[in-house]
Amino acid sequence: MARPDVATFLERFVLPFVVGGEAHVNRPLTSADLGRFELDLANATVALVAVDEARTDVLAELVARPPALVLDADELALAVGLHNALVLAHPDADGSLVTDAMRRKIASTALRMVSQPISRDRTRVLARHALLHNLLDLGRADVTVSWWTGRARFLGQKPSARLTAWKGVRRVREEVTRAGFDELLASPEVAPVMAALLRRTPLTQLLGVSPSAPPLHWEDAVFLLRDAEVARAVAYAAVRPDEPRAQVAAPARLAAAFEQMLERTPPAADVRAVAAFLAHVAALLAMAEAHLTSPSAKSPLLSAVLGGGPGAGRPRGLATFFALPVALERVAPVLSDPPGLAHEAPWQRRWLAFKAQAVDLLGQPLVDSLVARLARHLGPAPDRTPLAEAPASTPTPGPT
Amino acid sequence: MALEHVAHGQARFMTPGVAPDPRGVVLGRYLVIVFPTLEGVVSWLRLYSHEASLDELVAGLEITRVRTPLMSREMILRIPAVSSYAADRAARLARLVGGSIYTGTAKHFVKYRDDRSPYGYDAVEIGALPGGAELMVHGDDFTQTYAREGDISLSRLLFRLSLRRVPGAQRLAAEDRADLVLAVARGLGDGVIRYLWRNRCDGEVGLVAPRNNKAASDGSAGFGVDPSYLLMRVRSLPERILELFLGTPGIDVFRPVSENVAVAVGWAHPVELASVASLLPADTYHVFWPGDRVDLLAGPLELSRLADLTRIDLELEGVREPRTGEVSGPDPVAVALRLAPASGLARRVSATLVPLAQTAQFKRLVYLLPPAALRGLRVAVTDRGIVVVASHDLDVIPLGMLLTELAPGIMVPIGMEVVPRVSPEVLAGALGHGLGVLTVFTPDAAPFQLPESKLAPLERRSVARLESHTVEIRNVALDPSGDPTVVNDPLGRFALWGFPEPEQKLLGE
């Protein structure tokens, strides 16, 4: 059995994983392998540069000037940990030769590897996201081959030629289905590894929309909202044009995480930052309709996603998302309207009509409840003074 | 209250001879319109004839002078109730001119419908007519009986009505002048015919005598004892000739209003005569003159070609033999064309001839020209200079010799003209000038010509050839990345050393 080397690992697993392609999963890698990889990293320049260039391309869509990236030891550990987690979804690791104890050992090793220090450094966060940005989109092509006397299923593997030979005579039929993140990496024994891995890359969590991904902890990600460029990229990713229900999926997930945050005891500044960000995202959705309708017309988006009433299959957090700007008017008025909106009269009219329609569809009790929860973190509601009279020193967290 | 409102669907009525029409409106066989005077009748006829045809009403139309029991006189116009739509129009016009309208069949007439009762009215009680009464009308709060005093024929009324002068109607549009009728005194006949023929006016002419002797008897025709006159039908009479004829005694101009009716130009009959064609017999041609005169001519008119009536002078004595001419050489009186100072007003500047020596100044001027001038100017470079022609006034180029257009395509220096002052056609013929050619006279040399097709818009000529570089297109877009797919390579057998025992707390067990 050949010893795995870092260049092969980068070329066959890391690079396809970053740029999209066939990421090959081989036997599990030990801590000794990881140590050897770290030592050999300097000798695998070609593969290393290819990975770093691919990561730079990924970041080019998010920030104007991607930082210089060099794959280092902790990112390598994250990649090896992910590889080992994928081994547990390998069909050969589910056979009689691999016992539960062995699987637990592999999972434990993977967890150790991904348990790298949590970082809030911008470059490091961007670098980790560039490495793992496809994590939630990872899939596997499962082929089911059926022939005239039987059938066989190949999970991420190529069917043998003898099974697919003489297709006409043996009435061979191949069906290819794609297994997603939830089938590969959401099993109970891998879930802790994934949770730990995603905590190390909060930007991936903010930008990803997979429903089976671990829930977002805003406390881990709120620092990203204080970087205007990154926050803008997150906001634009959240309001990507799509069918209405798909368009609000990401904002609803972020708002659901905000609901959970309110149940804990986060710093007030973090609550203010997330609240301002979510209000900003809501305003973006409102402004996206400004060219479709007159400024005071009803929002087709709100009618589509909230029109069915409370029991009409709204995703979690959606009601909070649309009620938040209205509630903030009473708790922290300076956060409720994105800065600059009031300078454009048509935009302001559109925003007011959007909020009024949201209250109509959600109901005042829901807004009142959110006001009470926000007030616990942000203090009692201030006087209803106009925004223009607010003190000049009032901080305006969130994206600008 | 002598009336009650009729309800929708009501079928039984107190008033005899009325019934609901398909719309539910109460209607008898006739409508009776009561006017205080004859003027009201005429006003109603005048209005109705301009909105609809009176022909459909003529069959049962009666104008009656009536008397009330109190001996006051009124006029009643009875028309057949063709339909409730026609009755609605009649009622609207009657109310407009101060009349009141009723409907019924024989003796009793009940008020026709109005806004207060859309389906009409019915009388509350019907009594016998007193002796001598011809009919009874039932109004809102009265009933009135009328005794007949006499009838007035509509055709008689039509011929008794005077024409009314219409302000400004003497000026006719081209389509109104397409067909006109002239009544010309016989003494003026030759002159008018020659005049019309000289002015290329097509037409026919005939000698007519009015059938009615009224014109002849009262002498109003003014033609002497013989009432006959020449009737001419002319087509497309020019406006100036029309004005001349209207101002000439002995010539009267008429405008046909139908096949057999003509009305004096500038005048109009109160009633639209085209709508009462059935009262005007087809075998008679009616000429309505100003001053209550109507000439009835035997119709249809039989007229002769006007061109055939022009005077022919014959000299049968001393017929001369045709002379034989000789073809001679060039005319000894021919003179050369020259430019001379113009005597008339200055014409507009249409072109300029810029000497080649001033090409640099002209190029500098191009930079200053407004966009409209660049588009409107056409230019051709010749060995005699740069010819710049404008589609409008050329007042933005203060260079060269300014030219004005003497005739289409013939340019002469401004303030000068070509002598001898021959007509443009002769000049063009002498120069060999034609369509699509530009001929330019210069004071110092012979005129030159160039085809107009060589003139190009200055906008196109003004830009020199530019050298442009082809640039390389760089694709900076990122390749669309697909989703990563796990490929499971065979694991084979592997050892477990190197994998430490799991930490219970990390696994969350």
Among A11-15, A331-335, B254-258, the range with the most confident prediction by mean pLDDT is: A11-15
Residues A351 and A222 in one domain: yes
CA-nearest residue to A108 within chain B is B502
Q: Which pLDDT does position B325 carry in this prediction?
A: 56
Return the residue in A17, A59, A108 with the most chain B beta carbons within 10 A, the one to mutate for interface testing: A108
Render B234-298 in DSSP notation, one character per residue. EES--HHHHHHHHTSTTEEEEEEEETTEEEETTEE-SS-GGGGGGGS-TTEEEEEETTTEEEEEE
Q: Which residues of B touch A60 (CB under 8 A)?
A: 478
Burial of B25 (0-12, 13-18, 19+ CB in 10 A): buried
Please compute the mean of the pLDDT values over residues A362-374 and round it to a whole number.
90
pLDDT-based confidence at B508, cuts 50/70/90?
very low
Instruction: For residue A61, give its domain range.
Output: 6-136
Which residues from chain A sit within 8 angstroms of residue B490, using beta carbons? 92
How many residues are present in chain B? 509
Lowest mean pLDDT of A105-119, A255-269, B189-203, B340-354, name the range.
B340-354
> Is residue B323 very low, low, confident or very high in pLDDT (cuts 50, 70, 90)?
low
Q: Give domain status of residue A185, yes or no.
A: no
Nearest residue to B208 (alpha-carbon basis) of B194, B189, B227 = B227
List chain B residues with CB under 8 Å of A31. Answer: 498-500
Q: Is the pLDDT of residue A376 over 80?
A: yes
Nearest-CA neighbor of A306 among A252, A350, A259, A362? A362
Taking a C-beta distance cutoff of 8 angstroms, is the pair B80, B4 a contact? no
Copy the structure tokens of residue A191. 């879930």
What pLDDT does A13 receive?
94
The highest-confidence range among A77-81, B57-61, B120-124, B142-146, by mean pLDDT, is A77-81
Is the pLDDT at B305 greater than 90? The verdict is no
Q: Cβ contact (<8 Å) for B484 and A23? A: yes
Do A221 and A323 lie in one domain? The reply is yes
Residue B6: helix, strand or coil by DSSP? coil
Confidence of residue B499 (pLDDT cuts 50, 70, 90): confident
**ipTM for the complex shown:** 0.82
Residues of B whose CB is below 8 A from A21: 482, 484-485
Mean pLDDT of B433-448: 85
On the question of pLDDT at A383 being above 60, the answer is no
Q: Is residue A393 pLDDT above 50, yes or no?
A: no
Q: Which single residue is written with the structure tokens 């911008």? A: A122
| A157 contacts B488? CB cut-off 8 A | yes
- Residue from A157, A158, A160, A190 whose CB has the most chain B CBs within 10 Å, to mutate: A157
CA A268 and chain centroid, separation: 24
A141 vs B485: CB contact, 8 Å cut-off? yes
Q: Is B444 left (phi over 0), alpha (psi -120 to 50) or beta?
A: alpha
Does A94 share its domain with A157? Answer: no
**% of chain B surpassing 70 pLDDT:** 88
Residue A193 included in any domain: no
Q: How far is CA B5 from CA A216, B89, B119, in A?
A: 82, 21, 7
CB contact under 8 A, B489 and A26: yes
Range scoring the smallest mean pLDDT among A308-322, B22-36, B289-303: A308-322
Picking from A106, A136, A166, the residue at the C-terminal end of a domain is: A136
Residues in contact with B491: Cβ distance below 8 Å, sequence separation at least 6, in sequence order: A26, A27, A87, A90, A92, A93
Q: Which of residues 5-24 of A touch B (CB under 8 A)?
A: 16-24
Q: How close B493 comes to chain A (CA, Å)?
A: 8
- Among B482, B498, B502, the residue with its CB nearest the CB of A104 is B502
**pLDDT exceeds cutoff 50 at A387:** no
What band does B316 get if pLDDT is binned at 50, 70 and 90?
low
A396 confidence band (pLDDT: 50, 70, 90): very low
> Is residue A155 assigned to a domain?
yes
Q: Over 80: is that where the pLDDT of A361 sits? A: yes
Assign A399 a pLDDT band (cuts: 50, 70, 90): very low
Distance from CA of A148 to the nearest CA of B (A): 27
pLDDT digits (tens, 9 = 90+) for A198-250: 999 999 999 887 777 788 889 889 999 999 999 999 999 888 877 888 888 88
- Joined tokens for residue A31: 């801590």
- The whole-number pLDDT of residue B409 equals 86
Is B487 within 8 Å of A90 when comparing Cβ atoms?
Answer: no
In this structure, are A289 and A346 located in the same domain? yes
* Residues A114 and A157 both lie in one domain: no
d(CA B205, CA B305): 6
Q: Cα–Cα distance between B416 and B442 in angstroms, integer?
A: 10
Lowest-pLDDT choice from A205-219, A349-363, B5-19:
A205-219
Residue of B nearest to A20 (CA): B484
Q: Is residue B221 very low, low, confident or very high in pLDDT (cuts 50, 70, 90)?
A: very low
A26: contact with B, CB 8 A cutoff? yes
* In-domain check, residue A346: yes
**Least confident window among A311-325, B67-81, B146-160:** A311-325
pLDDT in tens, A99-135: 888 888 899 999 999 999 999 999 999 999 999 999 9
| Range with the poorest average pLDDT among A146-155, A258-267, B42-51, B170-179 | B170-179
Q: Highest mean pLDDT: which of A161-165, A189-193, B336-340, B465-469?
A: A189-193
Q: Is the pTM of this model over 0.90?
A: no
B488–A23 CB contact, under 8 Å: no
Q: How confident is the model at residue B509 (pLDDT cuts 50, 70, 90)?
A: very low
The rounded percent of chain B whose pLDDT value lies above 90 is 18
Chain A, residues 142-181, CB within 8 A of chain B, namely 155-157, 178
* Same domain (yes/no): A131, A172: no
For residues A265 and A277, membership in a common domain is answered with yes
Residue A221 has a pLDDT of 92
Mean pLDDT within A170-198: 89
For residues A96 and A244, state if they share a domain. Answer: no
User: Coil, strand, or helix at residue B451?
Assistant: strand
For A8, what's the count of Cα atoms within 13 Å in the CB-facing half-sphere?
10
Name the residue facing A27 among B482, B486, B494 (closest C-beta).
B494
Closest listed residue to residue B294, CA positions, set B323, B335, B260 = B260
Q: Structural domain boundaries of chain B? A: 3-152, 162-309, 338-460
Instruction: For residues B311-320, give the mean pLDDT.
Output: 62
The single-letter DSSP state of residue B124 is S
Residues pairing with B354 in the sheet: B386
DSSP state of B441: E
pLDDT mean across residues, chain B: 83
Question: A104 — contact with chain B (CB < 8 Å)?
Answer: yes
The whole-number average pLDDT for the span A165-193 is 88
Asked if residue B407 has pLDDT above 70, the reply is yes
Distance CA B308, CA B22 (A): 61
Establish if A308 touches chain B: CB-CB under 8 angstroms.
Answer: no
pLDDT at A302: 87
Total domains in the fold of chain A: 3
Clarify whether residues A263 and A382 are in a common domain. Answer: yes
3-state secondary structure B313-366: CCCCCCCCCCCCCCCCCCCCCCCCCEEEECCCCCCCEEEEEECHHHHHHHHHHH
Supply the pLDDT for residue A391.
41
- Give the model's confidence band at B346: pLDDT under 50 very low, under 70 low, under 90 confident, else very high: low
Average pLDDT of span B342-358: 82
Pairing state between β B251-258 and B349-354: unpaired
Please tell me what DSSP assigns to residue B404: E
Q: Which residue has the higher pLDDT, A142 or B406?
A: A142
For B139, the token pair is 């109004």
Same domain assignment for residues A232 and A357? yes
The residue-averaged pLDDT of A128-156 equals 91
Burial B455-490 (b: 16+ CB within 10 A, else e): beebbebeeeeeeeeeeeeeeeeeeebeebbbbbee
Do residues A67 and A147 both lie within one domain?
A: no
Question: Lowest-confidence range among A206-210, A356-360, B136-140, B292-296?
Answer: A206-210
Among the partner-chain residues B482, B491, B496, the one whose CB lies closest to the CB of A21 is: B482
Select the more confidently predicted residue: B253 or B214. Answer: B253
Local structure of residue B21 (DSSP, 8 states): -
Say which of B486, B492, B502 has its CB closest to residue A105.
Answer: B502
- Tell whether A61 is covered by a domain: yes
Which of A152-156, A390-394, B281-285 has the least mean pLDDT?
Answer: A390-394
| Residues of A (49-88) whose Cβ lies below 8 Å from B | 57, 60-61, 86-87
What confidence score (pLDDT) does residue A380 get?
66
pLDDT at B462 over 50: yes
